[in-house]
C-alpha cells in the first residue's frame, strides 16, 4: 500500500504523495524526507518523488487512500503570492539524471479519461524551481544571451529558473505530436526548436554551491517577479513568471532529455550509482 505524508504548513495540511519506481524510495524523517535511488544500468528508469497534485480529501481530513488520481491542472494548489523554503543536501554532486524541487504544471502528464479518470493531455511547461540536469541533458531553448543582462541560460548543471509558456489549450497542441517523426530531420527539428523558443519564455542562472552540504533554498513567487535565494542570499530575480496554478514537486531520477541547438533530439535513461537526497524544514507561506 502506498503511503501519503502530511505536514502542517502555515495552518494547512499539505499532502505529499510518494512515487517510487524501480528502486526509488521515499522515507519520512524526523523533520522531512529522504529520497533514495538504487544503483542500476541505463536501460531502466528509476524515480523517487514527492508531489502534491494527487487528488485527496478535504483539507480537514488527514486520511488518504490509494485510489486517488492526479488532479486536473486547473485544480493544482499553488499561485502567487507564495514562498517555499527548505533545506537540502545530496549524496554526491553531478549525479547522473535529474533532481530538483519547486513548482511545475506536470506538462507531460497524460490520461485519456478511461475508467472514469480525468482526461489530461500534454501541455507546454510552466515552472519555477531549482533543477539539476547532468549531461547529456540540454534543457535550454534560448541560445543567445538575454537582452539587458547578457546572461546565458544554463542548459545543464545546477540552476534556478523558470519557464513561462503561452497558455495554448492542450487539444490544440495534440496534432503537433504527429510531427514527431520528422524531428529526426535536423533542419526540421531546428525550425521547430526556434518556434518553441518563441512561445516558451525561459530564465535561469547557475547555482554554484556544494550540494553535498546542507543549504537553505527559497523560491518567492509574486505577481510581478519570482526570486530565488540560497542561504538567505538572493541569486536570481526574474519577471518571466509561470502561469498558475502549479503543483509542488521534489524528485530525483536517472533520465535525460536534450534538444540541442543543432536540432539533435534525445531522451533516455542513464546508469547511476546509489544516490540519495534529504529534505528538511519544508515550509510554504501563502501571503
Cα–Cα–Cα angle for 179, 184, 189, rounded to 5 degrees: 65
* CATH classification of the domain holding 118: 2.60.120
The range of the structural domain enclosing residue 214 comes to 78-286
Widest CA span of the chain, in angstroms? 55
Of the candidates 26, 173, 167, the one whose C-alpha atom is nearest the C-alpha of residue 110 is 173
Q: Is residue 254 part of a domain?
A: yes
Strands 32-37 and 247-253: unpaired
Chain segment 73-108, per-residue pLDDT in tens: 988 989 999 999 999 999 999 999 999 999 999 998
In whole angstroms, what is the distance from residue 154 CA to residue 204 CA?
7
Q: Distance between CA 150 and CA 214 in Å, rounded?
A: 31
Q: Which helix (H) or strand (E) holds 284?
A: strand 275-286
Low-confidence ranges of the chain (pLDDT < 70): 1-14, 55-68, 110-119, 174, 177
Q: What confidence score (pLDDT) does residue 55 get?
A: 65
CB burial string 113-131: b at 16+ within 10 A, e below: eeeeeeebbebbbbbbbbb
Specify if 187 maps to a domain.
yes
> Residue 273's closest CA among 50, 33, 27, 46?
46
- The reported pLDDT for the residue numbered 63 is 37
Joined grid coordinates for residue 139: 534543457
Examine residue 202 and state whether it is found in any structural domain, yes or no. Answer: yes
Give 108: exposed, middle or buried? Use CB within 10 Å, 0-12, 13-18, 19+.
exposed
Cα–Cα distance measured from residue 131 to residue 203, given in angstroms and rounded to the nearest whole number:
12
Number of H helices and E strands in the chain, helices first, is: 2, 19
Domain assignment present for residue 39? The answer is no
Which residues have a Cβ under 8 Å from the Cβ of 198 and sit 6 or more positions away? none
- Verdict on whether the full-model pTM lies above 0.85: yes
Rounded Cα–Cα distance for residues 78 and 15 (Å): 13
Quick check: helix, strand or coil at residue 116? helix
Residue 133 counted as domain residue: yes
Q: How many domains does the chain have?
A: 1
Note whether residue 103 is domain-resident.
yes
- Cα torsion 271, 275, 281, 284 to 10°: value is 10
Give residue 109's pLDDT.
74
Amino acid at each position: 500500500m502506498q503511503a501519503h505524508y502530511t505536514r502542517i504548513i502555515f495552518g494547512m495540511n499539505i499532502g505529499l504523495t510518494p512515487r517510487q519506481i524501480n528502486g526509488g524510495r521515499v522515507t519520512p524523517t524526523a523533520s522531512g524526507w529522504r529520497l533514495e535511488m538504487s544503483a542500476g544500468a541505463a536501460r531502466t528508469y528509476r524515480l523517487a518523488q514527492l508531489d502534491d497534485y494527487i487528488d485527496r480529501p478535504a483539507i480537514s481530513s488527514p486520511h488518504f487512500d490509494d485510489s486517488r488520481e492526479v488532479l486536473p491542472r486547473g485544480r493544482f494548489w499553488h499561485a502567487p503570492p507564495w514562498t517555499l523554503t527548505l533545506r537540502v543536501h545530496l549524496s554526491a554532486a553531478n549525479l547522473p539524471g535529474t533532481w530538483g524541487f519547486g513548482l511545475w504544471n506536470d506538462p507531460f502528464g497524460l490520461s485519456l479519461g478511461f475508467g472514469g479518470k480525468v482526461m489530461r493531455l500534454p501541455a507546454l511547461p510552466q515552472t519555477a524551481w531549482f533543477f539539476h540536469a547532468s549531461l547529456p541533458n540540454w534543457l535550454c531553448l534560448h541560445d543567445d544571451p538575454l537582452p539587458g543582462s547578457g546572461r546565458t541560460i544554463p542548459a545543464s548543471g545546477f540552476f534556478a529558473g523558470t519557464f513561462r509558456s503561452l497558455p495554448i489549450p492542450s487539444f490544440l497542441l495534440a496534432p503537433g505530436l504527429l510531427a514527431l517523426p520528422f524531428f529526426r530531420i535536423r533542419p526540421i527539428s531546428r525550425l521547430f526548436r526556434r518556434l518553441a523558443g518563441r512561445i516558451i519564455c525561459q530564465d535561469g542562472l547557475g547555482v554554484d554551491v556544494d550540494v553535498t552540504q546542507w543549504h537553505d533554498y527559497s523560491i518567492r513567487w509574486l505577481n510581478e517577479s519570482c526570486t530565488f535565494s540560497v542561504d538567505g542570499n538572493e541569486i536570481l530575480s526574474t519577471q518571466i513568471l509561470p502561469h498558475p496554478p502549479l503543483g509542488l514537486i521534489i524528485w530525483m531520477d536517472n533520465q535525460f532529455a536534450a534538444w540541442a541547438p543543432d536540432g539533435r533530439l534525445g531522451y533516455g535513461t542513464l546508469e547511476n550509482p546509489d544516490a540519495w537526497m534529504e529534505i528538511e524544514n519544508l515550509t510554504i507561506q501563502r501571503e
